Amino acid sequence: MPVRRLPVRPSLDQLRHQAKDLLRAIRAEDPAALAELGEFHPRPPNPTAARLSDAQLVLARSYQAPGWARLASACKMVDAIWHDEPEAVRALAAAEPRLLVEPVLIRESNWGPPLTYAANLGRDRIIQVLYQLGARDLPSAIDRATLQGQVGTARLLYDLMGRPTLPVEALGGPGYTLNVAGTELLLEYGVPVVDRGGTMLAPVAVVLETDSRDPAAKHRILSLYGERGVRYPRTAPMAVHLGRIDLLERHLADDPGLLARRFRHDDYYPPELGCHDEIQATHGTPLDGTTLLHLAIDFDEIAILRWLLTHGGDPNLPATVDRHGFGGHTALFATVVSQPAFWMNRGSQPVSDEATRLLLDHGADPTVRASLRKQLHPGYGETRAYEYRDLTAYQWGARFHRREFVNRAAMALVAPPGYASESLPPIDS
C-alpha cells in the first residue's frame, strides 16, 4: 500500500475520524483495509476483534509515524506554531525532545523541524523559544523565511547564525516563489549574482522555469540580477520575460516579421542561462514552436499580450507541427490549459478570462484544430506524456488529464454553440 503524507496543516480531529473509518472498514473485512492492517500492524489482530488502538497504529504507520502518539504530537506542534503559542511549543518539546530535530510533518519535507516550520510563518517568538531549547536548523529556516518573504524573521535568523556569508544557492528559494522581498534581503546580505570573472551565479533558470506566476515580481527579480551584473540574451523572448515592451519595440523595428515567428523551446528557456528541457521548464500548453502570443499567455503577461495584438500579432497563427504530427495549436489553446489556470483553481489568484477575450476580440478562431502531446513537470507526479489528437481549444480543455490546469472561464468563451457554462467539465483539483 502507498504511504500517506500529512498535509502542511494536519488536523488531529480529521485523523481521529479517519482512524474510526479505518476500524469500520477492517471489521467489515474490506480488502484495502485488510491490506493496510497486514502491512502496517506488527501483530495483525483478527479483523472482527480489531480495536480503535489497532486502527490508530495502522494509520499512524501509514503516515510514517512509529505510533499514534507521535502522529498526535505532530498535529499539536503544528497547531501551536500556527496559533503562535510559544509556551505550548515549549511544553511539547520538553515532553518529547526529539521533536526539536524531527520533521514536524514526520515525513521529510521542505517545512522541516519546528524551528524551520515556524520560519515559514514568521513566528519569531516561537523561533526564539526553540533556539533556547537547542534547535539549530537555522540554515534551512532562513531559506524558508526568504522563500516566503518573511523578512523580519530572516533578519532574526541571520543574527542568530552570527551573520555569516550566505551561499549563492540561497537565492533559489525566493527565485522559485518569485518573492522580491526575500531576494532583496539576500542581495543586501551580499549574496552574489556573478563571480569576480562575471560568470553568472544567480538562479535565473529557477526564475524562468518556476511554476509560480507573478509577472511584476519576476520582472523585478530579473532586473535586480541585471543591475548586479547578470547579462541576458538580447532576444524578443527574453524581452517578454523581462517585461520590457520598450525592448520588444526595438526588436519589432529591426525585424518586421517578428510577430509571425515561431520560437523554439531553447529561445524561451535559454540553455546558457541554465535552463532545462520542456518537462523541467514548467508551463501549460506546449510552447515549443509557438509565437510570442503563446509565451505571453502562459506567463500571464497581459500587458505584453495586448501590445502584441495591437501591433499585428496574429491570434490564428498556429505552432509548428513536428514529424509526429503534434503542434498546430493557436494562442487560444494556451488560454484554456495554462500554468496561470493552476493557480486560479487553487484560489491563489483571481479567475480571469482576459487573455481569451483579447484573442477573440482580435479575431481568434475557436474552431481551429490541433494535436498536442504534453508531459507535466515531475513535481506534479507525472511520469508519462499524454497525447491528444485533432481537437479544438475547447476539446483540449475538456480532455486534458489534469483538470487543475484548465481555465473553465476560458473554456466557456470558446465552447461550441449550445454549450451552457454549467455543462462544462468540472475541475477536480
Residue 338 contacts residue 407 (beta carbons within 8 Å): yes
Which pLDDT does position 150 carry in this prediction?
98
Nearest Cα to 236, choosing from 212, 219, 218, 255?
255
Cβ contact 146:179 at 8 Å:
yes
Three-state DSSP class for residue 370 = strand
> For residue 2, what pLDDT is reported?
61
**Cα–Cα distance between 291 and 294 in angstroms, integer?**
6
DSSP alpha helix (H) spans, 259-363: 265-268, 292-298, 302-310, 331-336, 339-345, 354-361
**Alpha carbons 188 and 49: distance in angstroms, whole number:** 63
Q: What is residue 425's DSSP assignment?
A: P
> Which class for 18: exposed (0-12), middle (13-18), buried (19 or more C-beta within 10 A)?
middle
Query: What pLDDT is attached to residue 106?
Result: 95
Bridge partners (DSSP) of residue 374 are 386
Could you state, in order of their start, the residue ranges of all structural domains in the chain?
Answer: 12-64, 81-164, 236-423
Beta carbons within 8 Å of 224's beta carbon, 6+ residues apart: 180, 183, 184, 187, 193
Closest of 89, 91, 147 to residue 119, by C-alpha:
147
Q: Which fold has domain 236-423?
A: 1.25.40
pTM: 0.92
Q: How many Cα neighbours within 13 Å face the side chain of 9? A: 8
Per-residue pLDDT of the chain (429 residues; tens, 9 = 90+): 567 999 999 999 999 999 999 999 999 999 999 999 999 999 999 999 999 999 999 999 999 999 999 999 999 999 999 999 999 999 999 999 999 999 999 988 899 999 999 999 999 999 999 999 999 999 999 999 999 999 999 999 999 999 999 999 999 999 999 999 999 999 999 999 999 999 999 999 999 999 999 999 999 999 999 999 999 999 999 999 999 999 999 999 999 999 999 999 999 999 999 999 989 999 999 999 999 999 999 999 999 999 999 999 999 999 999 999 999 999 999 999 999 999 999 998 999 999 999 999 999 999 999 999 999 999 998 889 999 999 999 999 999 999 999 999 999 999 998 775 545 555 543
